[in-house]
Structure 1
């Protein structure tokens, strides 16, 4: 995969002066660190719906199940206006084949969770979801989404980027034309990665692929994608990673010397204890994959799920 991954993003996170106060919320980690691998499609719900810059602030009020979007001072309700625009914008975004979206946290239009929702007495509780974010997630339930603030957490960032690259590979697979053979190959290459996220869902997906001929191709692909994204959204853990790496050892049983095997097991234990990040045992495994020319392991995305330059496994 050489082309950039196209994702939607709240415009203010790229430094555009679209905030209610005429400012921005430039996130350099997103723009400068992740940006070389991503093609951004900026969206600002409040400006695109026709509100001026600067403008009165908005807030969510009322029932968590049916919140209203109103101006903080005047109380003017623009819920239907925003919802109508959001539905049309999502239909337009469907043509962009987005592989993800990064929302502006805490925004009454774009926050994906824990947005302040004010009750009838004006008391806020972090129970809301931004109007546009809610409609986007309903329209594209399988597309990976995240908020700017959460991306500064090492584990959440690594998981989200792993989801993005997996979803992009899926899109590339579908673009080649749906076939059972291509799906088997995709599943095989992602075996260890899926095991690291959810051994249970990996087994369920394996049964689905094994029984592929009993389903129409479109239904097969739909069922597989739903399970794929359900699995990828589950975070890896040290226990699950070590289980996968122990599984990897089996492919080297005729190759590794006693000392090499011991060195590898010690790296697992150091990782388990939190003394070194995941990249340490993974680097050693990749070294042995190359040294002993393991063709099957060379195809496994678990060992190289995203560009090494992102250094995502250096911190988890």
Structure 2
């Protein structure tokens, strides 16, 4: 069920704080004095998040409207944000510093929706120009976006263009809610048991994105009580967020679905088991969306409660109202 359903009060109270380009939030702050109409998926995501709008170009004191800027450099890793007309005004350091100011002002951010193709906010494939002003490649990030990642490598980032892709959107939103949960965990006293419990809740979601990471993280936590806990937590969360950044596939989701169905083998009839297996196969072949077998699993587990499965983030990594698993 796609559409644009209203979030209920409980969901609204739990919305993770997420930054967004102010132009995507209806503010007329672009260089030409215009706003940018968000795509349908981005508009729906704004309802699931506690949105915090920022415009780095306005944030560093540039007017609206203003002369445009673009990225100039002979190498994708070393670009400058210069005015298009003369290349005499350099905004690079100011834009990078504004990223630091945003994260100082809103340290609770759990994600950020950037602006496609922007020399300040572009997530990737932003145009790079030569000194003569000619475009030479589309292979870099906006200055502000790059600085956000450098300051907080764990912060989930995507742009409004890439979020039209259902798989990338699923990964981004899953990471946002997981990062929110991680931050809540870190507000409490960390212990080996708390770290293991966190991963226990997310292990099947990780498996859906990366079987290799699922095994790696399990091995990493096997000696949680025998090493420096802060160092382990840092290593763990970087590997965990990297795993959720990988695109889940029909095959990887099917693998998880079959694993979860194994917990029902003593609770449901042979006919119900065969129907569940058939639904998972239909999903694996691309005939039905992910929401169909997941809904069936949730139905069976509601009738046959399993405390371990009940805590699994995989069955509901984000609010159902977003309807995203209808498109996976």
Does TM-score exceed 0.5, indicating one fold?
A: yes
| Greater mean alpha carbon deviation, residues 303-312 or residues 62-71 | 62-71
Q: Which of 238, 245, 261 in structure 2 is aligned with 1:233?
A: 245
1:141 aligns with 2:150: no
Q: Which of 1, 4, 7 in structure 1 is aligned with 2:18?
A: 7
Q: Runs of at least 4 residues of structure 1 off by over 4 A?
A: none
CA contact (8 A) 1:68 1:77 kept: no
Q: Aligned residue pairs: how many? A: 315
**For 2:317 and 2:292, how far apart are their aligned partners in 1?**
15
- The answer for the alignment partner of 1:43 in structure 2 is 54
1:10-89 pair list within 5 angstroms: 10-27=21-38, 29=40, 32-63=43-74, 64-83=76-95, 85-86=97-98, 88-89=100-101
CA contact (8 A) 2:60 2:95 kept: no
1:119 aligns with 2:130: yes
For residue 302 of structure 1, give the secondary structure of its aligned residue in structure 2. Answer: helix
Shift of 1:87: 5.5
TM-score (norm 1): 0.94
**For 1:40 and 1:200, how far apart are their aligned partners in 2?**
34
Shift of 1:32: 4.1
For residue 133 of structure 2, give the secondary structure of its aligned residue in structure 1. Answer: coil
| Greater mean alpha carbon deviation, residues 47-56 or residues 76-85 | 76-85
**For 2:116 and 2:42, how far apart are their aligned partners in 1?**
16
Q: Deviations over 1:70-122 (max 9, x none)?
A: 111132231344246335425524x5221111111100111121111112343
Shift of 1:66: 1.3
For residue 42 of structure 1, give the secondary structure of its aligned residue in structure 2. Answer: strand
**For 1:81 and 1:196, how far apart are their aligned partners in 2?**
39
Q: Which of 229, 234, 249 in structure 1 is aligned with 2:261?
A: 249
Cα RMSD after superposing both structures: 1.7
**For 1:118 and 1:28, how far apart are their aligned partners in 2?**
28
CA gap 1:256/1:85 in 2 versus in 1, 3 angstroms:
same
Bigger relative CO (Cα 8 Å, ≥ 6 apart): 2
**For 2:246 and 2:70, how far apart are their aligned partners in 1?**
31
TM-score (norm 2): 0.91
For residue 267 of structure 2, give the secondary structure of its aligned residue in structure 1. Answer: coil
Q: Which of 137, 160, 167 in structure 1 is aligned with 2:179?
A: 167
1:187 aligns with 2:205: no
Give unpaired runs (5+ residues) of structure 1.
Answer: none
For residue 112 of structure 1, give the secondary structure of its aligned residue in structure 2. Answer: coil
- The answer for the alignment partner of 1:270 in structure 2 is 282
CA gap 1:68/1:216 in 2 versus in 1, 3 angstroms:
same
- The answer for the alignment partner of 2:110 in structure 1 is 99
CA gap 1:84/1:238 in 2 versus in 1, 3 angstroms:
closer
**For 2:82 and 2:316, how far apart are their aligned partners in 1?**
46
**For 1:22 and 1:16, how far apart are their aligned partners in 2?**
9
CA gap 1:91/1:298 in 2 versus in 1, 3 angstroms:
closer
